[in-house]
Amino acid sequence: MEKRFSFSFVFARTILYHSSVMNILTRYWPDAYAESVWTIDYGKLYRMGYRGLIFDIDNTIVPHGEPSTPEADALMAEIRAIGFRVLMLSNNSIARVTSFVENMDVLYICNADKPDPAAFEKAVEMLGTDKAQTLCIGDQVFTDILGANMAGIRSILVKFIGYYTEKHIGKRRQLEKVILRLYRLDGSRYNRLGQIEKQEKNNGRKEA
Ligand SMILES: [Mg+2]
């Protein structure tokens, strides 16, 4: 009797343990993964019904702290011309963010405190879209993706651009790699948005 109890107890605990671990992990899983902001097929996203895009800046569009480029300005203009409303959501300072968006017709939130979902909710409110029509695009699972998931917004993870200059960022990247490996193993969650990259990746980069 005692044995049966302990067996079912252990079994139940195992199930609970695994399901809660999976629940925690899925919070870090993006809906899609893309090589970079340059390879994404924004026209396709628009045709899928998306109307608002929330972008991370640092290591997503340019290396950390670097100014915008003519290519980045042109990409945002192209995205705006498709019909998207665009918002830059950054944990960086107002000076950094305002100088980055200087030549862009986009909204922004600085000192966003990502992954705080409140910042993502505010972004959707400013965009005037609803959550189902909004996508978040960023390079970090612990800020961009976690925050978007907590706020109920779909997300695209892009490859980090820049250098591992800060030690803690390097460690985070290692953890990210493990999380992404598990993400790829879970067929039910992997690439929920389908093929969202331009077919010829090398031609995806927009020249000024
Ligand atoms: Mg970033």
> Per the domain annotation, does 16 fall within a domain?
no
Question: What spacing in Å lies between the alpha carbon of 57 and ligand 1's midpoint?
Answer: 6
Higher-confidence residue: 103 or 200? 103
Q: Does residue 40 register a pLDDT over 60?
A: yes
What's the pLDDT tens digit per position in 154-185? 999 999 987 655 566 677 778 888 888 888 88
Rounded to whole angstroms, how far apart are CA atoms 112 and 90? 6
Question: What spacing in Å lies between the alpha carbon of 56 and ligand 1's midpoint?
Answer: 6
> Per the domain annotation, does 176 fall within a domain?
yes
Question: What spacing in Å lies between the alpha carbon of 32 and ligand 1's midpoint?
Answer: 16
> Per the domain annotation, does 105 fall within a domain?
yes
Rounded to whole angstroms, how far apart are CA atoms 14 and 94? 47
> Per the domain annotation, does 1 fall within a domain?
no
Instruction: Record the tokens describing residue 146, joined without a space.
Output: 């976690």
> Per the domain annotation, does 25 fall within a domain?
no
Which structural domain range is residue 119 located in? 30-203
Q: Which of 161, 154, 158, 139 is nearest to 189 (CA)?
A: 154
Question: What spacing in Å lies between the alpha carbon of 129 and ligand 1's midpoint?
Answer: 23
Identify the pLDDT of residue 137: 98
Identify the pLDDT of residue 22: 73
Q: Does residue 54 register a pLDDT over 70?
A: yes
> Per the domain annotation, does 136 fall within a domain?
yes
Q: Does residue 38 register a pLDDT over 70?
A: yes
Q: Edge-to-edge strand order for the sheet containing 154-158?
A: 32-34, 154-158, 134-138, 52-55, 85-89, 107-109
pLDDT grade for 208, boundaries at 50, 70 and 90: very low
> Per the domain annotation, does 11 fall within a domain?
no
Question: What spacing in Å lies between the alpha carbon of 139 and ligand 1's midpoint?
Answer: 5
> Per the domain annotation, does 24 fall within a domain?
no
Question: What spacing in Å lies between the alpha carbon of 46 and ligand 1's midpoint?
Answer: 24
Question: What spacing in Å lies between the alpha carbon of 143 and ligand 1's midpoint?
Answer: 8
What's the pLDDT tens digit per position in 114-144? 999 999 999 999 999 999 999 999 999 999 9
Identify the pLDDT of residue 49: 98
User: Which residues are CB-neighbours of 125 under 8 A, at least 6 positions away?
Assistant: none
The number of angstroms, rounded, from the C-alpha of 177 to the middle of its chain's C-alpha atoms is 15
Question: What spacing in Å lies between the alpha carbon of 47 and ligand 1's midpoint?
Answer: 27
Identify the pLDDT of residue 60: 97
Question: What spacing in Å lies between the alpha carbon of 35 and ligand 1's midpoint?
Answer: 14
Question: What spacing in Å lies between the alpha carbon of 122 and ligand 1's midpoint?
Answer: 19
For position 163, which CATH number holds? 3.40.50.1000
Q: Are 203 and 45 in contact (CB under 8 A)?
A: no
Question: What spacing in Å lies between the alpha carbon of 11 and ligand 1's midpoint?
Answer: 41
Mean pLDDT, residues 40-68 taken together? 97
Q: Does residue 145 register a pLDDT over 80?
A: yes
Domain count, the chain: 1
pTM, two decimals, is 0.85
Question: What spacing in Å lies between the alpha carbon of 8 and ligand 1's midpoint?
Answer: 45
The dihedral formed by the CA atoms of 51, 161, 98 and 80, expressed in degrees to the nearest 10: -30
Half-sphere exposure for 152 (CA within 13 Å, toward CB):
7
Classify residue 186 by its DSSP letter: -
pLDDT grade for 106, boundaries at 50, 70 and 90: very high
What pairs with residue 33 in β-bridges?
A: 157
